[in-house]
Amino acid sequence: MIRRIATLTVIAGCVWAFAGCEKKEEPKPADALQKAAADAANQATDIAVIALLEKADAFDGKVDKTVSKCAKCNLGMEGKPDQVIVYSGYTIQFCSPGCKKEFEGDVKKAVMAMNIPAKK
């Protein structure tokens, strides 16, 4: 009899622990999924941003990881070596502190908004 109670107690304890555990972990799969989706979106944005930086880098005729034309001015102005943002290994030059400042807030968004002119 005592043994039976002990067994039941162990079983009850297991069930309780399992239920407690499951309850705690319940929001996790959704969180993980959301995080994975956010990571994937972030990664896709990074790839797009780097592709645009590559294109902007090539625009000036020299592939050297330096965007020498002002990125904020859609590469229409010469960038200055003392007005730069370094992003993902690219040195992005700007024509003025104002252009740099506008770009600096959200570099990713600014690069995505860039309108790279077609090469002549």
**What is the secondary structure of the chain as a DSSP string?**
-HHHHHHHHHHHHHHHHHHHHHHHHTTHHHHHHHHHHHHHHHHHHHHHHHHHHHHHHHHTT--SSEE-B-TTTTT-SB-EEEEEEEETTEEEEESSHHHHHHHHTTHHHHHHH--PPPP-
Q: Is 77 in the site for Zn ion (CB under 5 A)?
A: yes
46 vs 78, beta carbon nearer Zn ion = 78
49 vs 92, beta carbon nearer Zn ion = 92
For the bound state, the minimum distance from the C-beta of residue 28 to Zn ion, rounded and expressed in Å, comes to 46
For the bound state, the minimum distance from the C-beta of residue 108 to Zn ion, rounded and expressed in Å, comes to 18
Q: Is 69 in the site for Zn ion (CB under 5 A)?
A: no
Q: Is 73 in the site for Zn ion (CB under 5 A)?
A: yes
Q: Is 70 in the site for Zn ion (CB under 5 A)?
A: yes
Q: Is 72 in the site for Zn ion (CB under 5 A)?
A: yes
Q: Which residues bind Zn ion (CB under 5 A)?
A: 70, 72-73, 77, 95, 99
